[in-house]
Amino acid sequence: MKKSDKIIYLIDTLELLFPEVPIPLDHKDPYTLLIAVLLSAQSTDVGVNKITPILFAKADNPYDMVKLSIEEIRNIIRPVGLSPMKSKGIYGLSKILIKNHNGKVPENFEDLESLPAVGHKTASVVLAQAFNIPTFPVDTHIHRLMYRWGMSSGKNVKITEKDAKRIFPKKLWNKLHLQIIWYGRKFSPARGWNIKTDLITQKIGRKSFLKKLIN
């Protein structure tokens, strides 16, 4: 199968399996999404979704967030891990949003990535899911599957993102990245993976990768 045919097959199959793709992190607006994505670093969406209702009951906007101390934020978010860094980031970015952006989450990479504890992936998720701006956030599932499917070298997430943007139509980026995440979780996980249930990898998987499974 030619690579162009593989891409068409991939897009069509994901659309068939996941015509609707819920956003994994619970939120109600750009600010709460930003905080939830920040908290999800090296944590699970399930874990974050247990903590954010507690945090947002006390502060669901930057003006209320800065009324809390860093220590108070840290105590609430402790279960998701990296709480010292994340609590400082949440407090710091909230202050900057008030000072420089009238309390609003900016709608561009430059301003988002200048915020404390906000990297490229977090900014990409916020732009895609809060503002519907085409981006292709690459998480561990997308990085793993793009390699398994022979769509990227797997060297690093920057290359994976570049390859994804190059091969997939821009109008599909925001939905497609979520479809790949849901597919990875359900059919092609890092652990406990079974090729028999992973139909896409069976069909278009990297030959060298599939060969290792047989040997």
Which residues are catalytically annotated? 121, 139
Helix 120-131 vs helix 173-187: crossing angle, to nearest 10? 110
How far from the centroid of its chain's Cα atoms is residue 190's Cα?
16
- How far apart are alpha carbons 71 and 182 in whole angstroms? 35
Find how far residue 194's CA is from the centre of its chain. 24
* Phi, psi for residue 114 in degrees, rounded to 5: -85, -10
CA gap 17, 34 in Å, rounded: 28
| HSE of 205, CA atoms in CB hemisphere, 13 A | 19
Q: How far is CA 137 from CA 92, 109, 122, 131, 191, in A?
A: 23, 12, 8, 14, 22
**How far is it, in rounded angstroms, from Cα 33 to Cα 49?**
11
d(CA 59, CA 77): 13
Residue type for position 25: L
Asked whether the beta carbons of 51 and 60 are under 8 A apart, the reply is no
